């Protein structure tokens, strides 16, 4: 097998050589070890996994997609795009800091100081807004660990804010009684960061290598064989040493913080390595919980989630039906990493997504991108405040609910685009003509997704229809103390709404049927 000069250098040096105190190629132990427990690191064994009840009940989580790429406050994927000649972030970097052959990504890291970051204060705000779990980023594609990593010198304890970001988030979340989650985006880094080894194709510095081509920085920029300017989001071309290294890095993350949920940005990677990692996560959880697995692992590949193994995560999208197993949407109020001047989703858009997702047996994981300082900006605080006010009224129709016989009805109930992933921008706005359902015991909650002018007719709750609702005994409007006028007929459930609405955005009717 032909290997590159960089790979050869890294393999020879990996056993312990170091340059300036940093291993050229991180050491990877020869064996794969997992915690003993109910699962082996195989697809067959993991197919017996069942998603824990806490996740099915939680419905809403908040994510801090925050790290050294937030330092420049110029949006997502800065560490890659600053090495892509002609991109807006490349142009900004050259104009602001200089050419990436002279001032590279490594040189931006000190600007991430987190000087106003108060994790306890933020977690308190997120809990008041209704989050039942919180997720810290562990490592993004930029290969920079946000904890005191055993296998990566480039981490937040050694440089940047010089703080254990994951650890402080974990402590704050658990102090507030929230489940703690952590995300890893590392598996694709081998390909994603390869552009740092390239050079300009045109201009006065054409063919001058970027700083990522310097061998003494391979422990940050990775010893990749090819410069992938067109990124194939798959495992092709990723060598064995990187797979093993990925396993040890993420196992260290799991061992140190024992997360309730581990998120991977993509499919479960690297076959046996991936299966072993998930088995290790689940077995550790079983050991802590008297034999019961309470941990969750998410994958964006449907085949990983249909028969146990993992929980489905859909990025910036919503599935087209009631999903048979609990699942999760991960999305952001703006860009994943903070960008100055970015436009955020409106509170209505977020509330509509939450209700729609929960009606389909899902959870919403919502990212609030933090600026470099670690303090939410004013507009983010306003969005969070609106969510807080809405959840204070309507949370009983969200938490611990399950889907009804259909997720909803109305013009906004048409099937979304062909793919569930990245379809949120293609979905219709929901109005007072749209309804979404959840249930709890003998209660049906009907969310009307806008405030009706006078009354509302909920057709699926009609007498003698295919949904077999039965005779309705009582109807309440959550957040309204008075009696409602209502009538159930073969046309549906007709409700006259009061003059004063109990909240902005979706309103929830609590319906008791015989």
Residue 97 has pLDDT above 60, yes or no: yes
**Closest among 180, 157, 189, 219 to 21, alpha carbons compared:** 219
**Closest among 328, 290, 320, 280 to 416, alpha carbons compared:** 320
Q: Provide the pLDDT confidence category of residue 424 given band limits of 50, 70 and 90.
A: confident
Q: Could you report the per-residue pLDDT of 58-75, keeping only the tens digit for each?
A: 999 999 999 999 999 999
Q: Could you report the per-residue pLDDT of 325-371, keeping only the tens digit for each?
A: 999 999 999 999 999 999 999 999 999 999 999 999 999 999 999 99
Residue 40 has pLDDT above 70, yes or no: yes
| 3-class SS string, 287-336 | HHCCCCCCCEEEECCHHHCCCCCCEEEEECCCCCCCCCCCEEEEEECCCC
Which residue is associated with the tokens 């427990």?
37
Three-class SS state of 21 = coil
Q: Could you report the per-residue pLDDT of 103-122, keeping only the tens digit for each?
A: 999 999 999 999 999 999 99
Whole-angstrom distance, CA of residue 265 vs CA of residue 298: 9
CA 441 to chain CA mean position, Å: 30
Whether CATH 2.60.40.1180 fits 408-513:
yes
pTM reported for the whole predicted model: 0.92
Q: Provide the pLDDT confidence category of residue 415 given band limits of 50, 70 and 90.
A: low
Residue 3 has pLDDT above 50, yes or no: no
- Give me 203's structure tokens: 């201009």
- Give me 382's structure tokens: 């306003």
Residue 202 has pLDDT above 60, yes or no: yes
Residue 181 has pLDDT above 70, yes or no: yes
Q: Could you report the per-residue pLDDT of 367-385, keeping only the tens digit for each?
A: 999 999 999 999 999 999 9
Quote the mean pLDDT of the chain: 92
Q: Provide the pLDDT confidence category of residue 470 given band limits of 50, 70 and 90.
A: confident
Whole-angstrom distance, CA of residue 88 vs CA of residue 81: 8
């Amino acid at each position: 097998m032909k290997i590159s000069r960089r790979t050869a250098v890294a393999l020879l040096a990996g056993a312990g050589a170091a340059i300036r105190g940093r291993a050229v190629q991180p050491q990877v132990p020869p064996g794969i070890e997992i915690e003993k427990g109910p699962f082996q690191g195989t697809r067959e064994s993991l197919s017996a996994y069942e998603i824990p009840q806490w996740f099915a009940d939680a419905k809403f989580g908040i994510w801090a997609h925050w790290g050294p790429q937030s330092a420049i406050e110029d949006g997502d994927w800065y560490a890659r795009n600053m090495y892509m000649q002609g991109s807006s972030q490349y142009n900004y970097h050259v104009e602001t800091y200089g050419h990436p052959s002279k001032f590279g990504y490594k040189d931006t890291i000190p600007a991430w100081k987190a000087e106003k970051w108060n994790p306890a204060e933020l977690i308190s705000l997120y809990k008041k807004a209704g989050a039942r779990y919180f997720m810290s980023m562990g490592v993004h594609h930029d290969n920079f660990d946000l904890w005191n990593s055993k296998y990566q010198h480039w981490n937040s304890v050694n440089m940047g804010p010089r703080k254990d970001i994951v650890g402080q988030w974990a402590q704050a979340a658990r102090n507030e009684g929230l489940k703690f989650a952590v995300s890893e985006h590392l598996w694709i880094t081998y390909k994603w960061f390869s552009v740092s080894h390239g050079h300009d194709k045109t201009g006065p510095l054409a063919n001058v290598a970027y700083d990522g081509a310097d061998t003494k920085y391979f422990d940050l920029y990775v010893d990749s064989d090819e410069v992938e300017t067109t990124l194939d989001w798959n495992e092709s071309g990723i060598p064995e040493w990187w797979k093993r290294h990925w396993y040890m890095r993420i196992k260290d993350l799991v061992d140190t913080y024992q997360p309730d949920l581990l998120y991977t940005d993509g499919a479960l990677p690297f076959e046996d390595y991936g299966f072993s990692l998930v088995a290790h996560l689940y077995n550790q959880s079983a050991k802590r919980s008297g034999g019961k697995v309470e941990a969750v692992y998410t994958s964006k590949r449907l085949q990983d989630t249909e028969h146990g193994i993992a929980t489905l995560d859909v990025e910036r999208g919503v599935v087209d039906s009631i999903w048979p197993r609990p699942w999760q949407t991960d999305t952001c109020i703006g860009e994943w990493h903070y960008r100055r001047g970015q436009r955020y989703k409106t509170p209505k858009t977020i509330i509509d997504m939450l209700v729609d997702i929960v009606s389909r047996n899902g959870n919403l994981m919502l990212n609030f991108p933090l600026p470099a300082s670690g303090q939410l900006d004013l507009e983010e605080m306003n969005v969070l405040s609106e969510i807080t006010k809405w959840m204070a009224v309507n949370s009983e129709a969200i938490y611990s609910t399950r889907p009804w016989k259909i997720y909803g009805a109305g013009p906004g109930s048409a099937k979304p685009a062909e793919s569930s992933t990245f379809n949120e921008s293609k979905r219709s706005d929901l109005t007072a003509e749209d309804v979404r359902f959840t249930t709890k015991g003998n209660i049906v909650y009907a969310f009307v997704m806008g405030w009706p002018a006078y009354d509302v007719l909920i057709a699926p709750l009609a007498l003698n229809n295919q949904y077999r609702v039965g005779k309705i005994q009582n109807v309440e409007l959550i957040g309204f103390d008075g009696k409602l006028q209502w009538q159930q007929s073969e046309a549906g459930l007709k409700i006259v709404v009061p003059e004063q609405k109990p909240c902005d955005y979706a309103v929830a009717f609590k319906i008791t049927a015989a």
